[in-house]
Amino acid sequence: MSSMQSDSSTNVTNVRPATFYISDFSNMPHAKYYYMFLFLVYVVTVLGNSFIMSTIYLAHKLHTAKYIIVFHLALSDLCGSSALIPKIIEMFLFDHQDIAYEACMANMFSVYHFMNMQSLTLLALAYDRLVAICFPLRYHAIITKPAMFLIIGMMWIVSLTLFSVLVALVNRISFCRSNVLHSYFCDYGQIIGLACNDITINVFMANITYGLLICTPLILIIISYFCISLALLRIAHGADRIKAIKTCTSHLMLVAMFYLPVLTNIIASATTPLHLNVQLINNSLTQAIPPMLNPIIYTLKTEEVMQSIKELYRRSKVNTTRNSQIKGCRMN
């Protein structure tokens, strides 16, 4: 645990630590096995999301506006896990639990930014499904590649701006109590909890950011599926209705996996006093598991993706056979 360093200005002196110390589980036996499990989760996450991105890139059939968003979700999952899990492994398996102040701010920004990019991307996918089912004749006029790139660009601008402000506001805090964070990463709530001066603006900005980037997308997704449900009721033929529902299945599963654990953790922590170890496991799994499962669900539950994978496999098999024959002819 490090000493504090002061930054002085005309009217105020801010005291901040040179480093933060991120503590791990409290007397939890075999905690290292849990970190090894997270490492396996990360490996599967990297392979799965890299696979779905490669499939979308290589399969010309998937070069559509919808799969631009799917590609972005996989990229956000990959970057979010990369911002979180390798740092956990480094800190707790290799005992590097001291983290420099600036590195801590960067870690906090990256984890929150990519987690919220996942949330906003799920909203973009809900918008795609809403237009596809409620306005099928206008779908290709509304959901275009330029429109999707514009939506993604706006998502990045909003998220980067809000989290840049959120992190910048930490620099106005004075830390004169401790530099120990009882978490598994540089948690914003833990950091402002160590403040000795007024943090009203920090709490206000955190609530605004959380509301805009987590709560608002969930509310809009619920509204979009309410509209989709009304549209499905107007479909006369049962077979057409089932086909339309199937196109939403994978997205609904992704939404449930992302939001239900988050909401469950919030409700549980508000109603039941949880042990610190339970909180850390719940929160870390909430952030680590969805990015691992998302590409698996999209691969198994989306017919277009499965067909594209089969076509790519057949194409690679044909190319391998052709190359072998050419090589054999040259040797003869």
Secondary structure string (H, E, C) spanning 92-118 = HHCCCCEEEHHHHHHHHHHHHHHHHHH
Residue bearing the bigger pLDDT, 281 or 47: 47
Place of tokens 């039941």: 272
- pTM for the predicted model, two decimal places: 0.87
pLDDT at 1: 46
Mean pLDDT of the chain: 86
- Give 239's pLDDT tier (boundaries 50, 70, 90): confident
Q: Taking a C-beta distance cutoff of 8 angstroms, is the pair 11, 263 a contact?
A: no
Which structure tokens are listed for 44?
């599967």
28: pLDDT strictly greater than 80? no
- Cα–Cα nearest to 188, from 198, 176, 196, 173: 173
Amino acid sitting at position 201: I
Place of tokens 């949330």: 119
User: CB under 8 Å to 126, separation ≥6 — which residues?
Assistant: 220, 221, 224, 225, 251, 255
185: pLDDT strictly greater than 50? yes
7: pLDDT strictly greater than 50? no
Q: What is the mean predicted confidence (pLDDT) over 65-82?
A: 94
Q: What is the mean predicted confidence (pLDDT) over 5-11?
A: 43
Alpha-helical regions (H) of the chain: 31-58, 65-88, 101-134, 139-142, 145-170, 188-192, 200-210, 216-233, 238-271, 276-301, 303-331
Place of tokens 């999952």: 77
273: pLDDT strictly greater than 90? no
Rounded CA separation 180/254 (Å):
35
Burial of 282 (0-12, 13-18, 19+ CB in 10 A): middle
- Give 119's pLDDT tier (boundaries 50, 70, 90): very high
pLDDT at 277: 79
Of 3.20.10.10, 1.20.1250.20, 1.20.1070.10, 3.30.43.10, the CATH number of 18-313 is 1.20.1070.10
Rounded CA separation 208/309 (Å):
42
Q: Mind listing the pLDDT tens digit for each residue in 166-182?
A: 999 998 888 887 888 88
Rounded CA separation 249/247 (Å):
6
In sign, the C-alpha dihedral spanning 248, 52, 40, 79 is negative
- Give 262's pLDDT tier (boundaries 50, 70, 90): confident
Rounded CA separation 299/59 (Å):
13
Place of tokens 């042990």: 275
Rounded CA separation 129/127 (Å):
5
Place of tokens 């939506």: 151
115: pLDDT strictly greater than 70? yes
Q: What is the mean predicted confidence (pLDDT) over 280-290?
A: 88
Residue bearing the bigger pLDDT, 104 or 305: 104
pLDDT at 149: 96
Q: What is the mean predicted confidence (pLDDT) over 247-254?
A: 87
pLDDT at 166: 93
Rounded CA separation 120/159 (Å):
9
Rounded CA separation 184/99 (Å):
12
Q: What is the mean predicted confidence (pLDDT) over 7-12?
A: 42
Q: Taking a C-beta distance cutoff of 8 angstroms, is the pair 34, 85 a contact?
A: no
